[in-house]
Structure 1
Amino acid sequence: MFDTPRALQAPLRLLTALLAAFLTTGILIGLVAQPSQAASAEDAGNSDVAVVAHRGSSGVAPENTLAAIRQAHRQHADVVENDIQRTSDGELVIMHDTNLVRTTDVEKVFPERAPWNVRDFTLVEIKRLDVGSWFDPAFAGERVPTLREWVNAEDPRPACSSRSRHPSSTPASRSSSTRSSGRCRSSGLR
């Protein structure tokens, strides 16, 4: 080996760190960008492990959308998990947050309706919101699905699991989701 001049040691350490970060990022992006490589536990021959698509396939599609469910199917997920909230008119929608700001354009569509909680909007109003653009322009126009739409989007193989994020703020959500589909598991956890 040769001795590196002192003046080059710091820049070489920085270059090495940047190269390591670049390679790690490239590997992670490659894993996400190759959805056809995903396999279910059944495909791998291990029935003790289930592949769960949390909020659908939320790494490649906007969370809790029909696009995320379709992607989870393509990735052979064993279970598709989503969260439910109740609208002001009693409808159940697939939404993680109790507030619509993070994943929709609610501030633009309804600027005078702060604090923009799901429970303060009707289903018709929520259906006006774009839930895809925040994730990627390719998903512009994606809408918040109802629990019924989500259950109907499920193919026969994956199980669906829904839960009320805040059961106390969405009374009877648990029993309503269980009635919607005998195949769905419902939980009032968290």
Structure 2
Amino acid sequence: MIRPLDRAAKIVTDVLAPWVVIIVACGLVAADATGTIGGTLLWGSLVAVFTSVIPMGVIAWGIRRGRISDVHVRHRSQRIKPLAGIALSATAGLTLMWLMKAPGTVVALSWALAIGVLTTGVITVFWKISFHTAVSSATAVVIGFLFGGGWAITAIAVVATIGWSRVRLGDHTVAQVLAGAAWGAAIALAVFGMSPR
């Protein structure tokens, strides 16, 4: 029988998976940058395709081929090859945003996501840093930049809940969750701190 807390942790892990959080971040940044429905859909969708949809396609392909166990890629040894494909996709998306002269914060988000996947990909070769908390904490920082501290505090509470879920399920240690959160936040702070509004 699954314990209620384990069930809750599984729901949090699935509902707030990195690919979901990235789509939310893309929509928020695009909406803030353009202030229009069309602009939000255009730029938000473009960034999301290269940083969330294609990466999930890479993971789904790996699952079908039997090379990846599940959508969260729990086994560190299974992360390296798909991360290379995801990094290429994120870099291609960043290049496209630059060539299309996307709004500044949209380009900044593309930079942050590309840097994030490249660096955490290198780290995960040696140590299973948490992508869940890296992505969610970076998003919390972005929310703080765009909408102010009150919203950022709420987002940080969400990051903490995600971190709890990863530890509860035995997918990460506390150190791996905290490192992911710190690294994601540091990348977002650096990139958005230099980004023109």
Q: Which has the higher contact order (CA 8 A, sep 6+)?
A: 2
Q: TM-score, normalized by length of structure 2?
A: 0.31
Q: TM-score, normalized by length of structure 1?
A: 0.32
Q: Which has the larger radius of gyration?
A: 1
Question: Whose strand proportion is higher, 1 or 2?
Answer: 1
Question: Whose helix proportion is higher, 1 or 2?
Answer: 2
